[in-house]
Amino acid sequence: MTGSPPMIPRERCEYSAIVDRPPLKLPGGARMVVWTIVNLEVWDIGKPMARQVLPAPTGVPLLPDVPNWSWHEYGMRVGVWRFFDLYKRLAIAPTLSINARVCEDYPRVAQQARDQGWEFMGHAYEQGPIHKETDQKAMIERSMKVIEKFTGKRPVGWLGPGLTQTFDTPEFLAEAGVKYIGDWVYDDEPTVIRTAAGPLVTLPYTVELNDIPMMLVQHHESDHLLKRSIDSFDRLYAESKERPKIMSIAIHPYISGQPFRIKYLEAIYDYVNKHEGVVHWNGEQILDWFEGQAGEAGSKS
């Protein structure tokens, strides 16, 4: 791919109105897929923290930022174990969007996810915007290798840290063997985008049913996670009569794993699972299904 100028999004995929596409079809009478993504990160204490719950008294960020580091660390020590309990009880194996360094710094957590059969999705080596990587290609390769070594399987999915990409990220990802990305939240359905290194599938990840925008940016109350998820589900479920829908839920242990929030997360699944025709799939399962569909009906964009 070297030498070709980076593409802007519109060059990778033409605009397409969802109503103009033939509906996809889910197997076995299913009409809706729920895709749960748990994000695990490493916040390096030597750097500014990725998010803050408590700004410094003067408003000027100071290093080290111990209060916000330890706020995030709570998620790894305590919060994530609430997730493991929940998904074991529900017999759901989510997708794990994981900074590769978690496998090195928190092997106990990564082992638990592996043992519960979660899908490992590449999520950079550690948390920070991908624009700041001096050698993006090497960082992506390193992340893939660390996870591959840990799980015995090379990830097929990728989510940029904070969904960040530069214009040439899709090429680097395709070259590293990534098959799907979650960075493009621009549709309810998977799509195919062009890269100089072959096609990539986009899966409908979410910045709406995501605890970062909801809790840390928009500062909603805890029960809004449940309310918004039910509102989304109701609408998508109604629409799934016409065409299958995928609903993603993106969570972080330091946010939704808090004792005052976890019950609202649990209640989402209680609500969703009362409905017929809902399956819980991970990213790789959605990818495999979509690729089978594309084989049947030609290319989808």
Partner 1 sequence: MLPTERILYSPITDRPRLKLPNGARMAVWVIVNVEEWDAKLPMPRTVLTPPAGGSPSPDIPNWAWHEYGNRVGFWRMLKIFDEFRIPGVLAINGSALAAYPAIVEAAKARRWEFMGHGFTQRNMQKVENEREDIRKTADVIEAATGRRPRGWLGPGLTETWETPDLLKQEGYEYVADWVLDDQPVWLKTTTAPIVNIPYTQECNDVAMMLIQHHKASEYYDRAIDQFEQIYDDAGDSARVMALVAHPYIMGAPHRTRYFRRIFEVIRQKSDVVFMTGGQILDWYLTTGPKAP
**What residue ranges bind partner 1 (CB under 8 A)?**
8-10, 15-20, 47-51, 127-129, 131-132, 160-167, 169, 183-188, 207-210, 212-213, 217-220, 224, 227-229, 231-232, 234-236, 239
For residue 200, the minimal CB distance to partner 1 (Å) is 13
Q: Which is nearer to partner 1, 51 or 179 (CB)?
A: 51
Residue 153 has what DSSP assignment? S
Q: Which is nearer to partner 1, 129 or 199 (CB)?
A: 129
Q: Which is nearer to partner 1, 12 or 114 (CB)?
A: 12
Q: Which is nearer to partner 1, 93 or 268 (CB)?
A: 268
Is the Cβ–Cβ distance between 204 and 214 less than 8 Å? no
Lookup: tokens for 104: 């090195």
Question: 3-state DSSP: the chain helix, strand, coil percent, rounded to 5?
Answer: 40, 15, 45
d(CA 261, CA 274): 21
Phi-psi region of 219 (alpha: psi -120 to 50; beta: other; left: phi over 0): left
For residue 268, the minimal CB distance to partner 1 (Å) is 12
For residue 84, the minimal CB distance to partner 1 (Å) is 24
For residue 61, the minimal CB distance to partner 1 (Å) is 9
For residue 49, the minimal CB distance to partner 1 (Å) is 7
d(CA 290, CA 128): 31
Is the Cβ–Cβ distance between 198 and 220 less than 8 Å? no
Burial class (CB in 10 A: 0-12, 13-18, 19+), 35: buried
Q: Which is nearer to partner 1, 44 or 104 (CB)?
A: 44
For residue 229, the minimal CB distance to partner 1 (Å) is 7
Q: Which is nearer to partner 1, 164 or 285 (CB)?
A: 164
Residue 255 has what DSSP assignment? T
Q: CA angle, 123 as apex, 287 and 113 as ends, to 5°?
A: 80
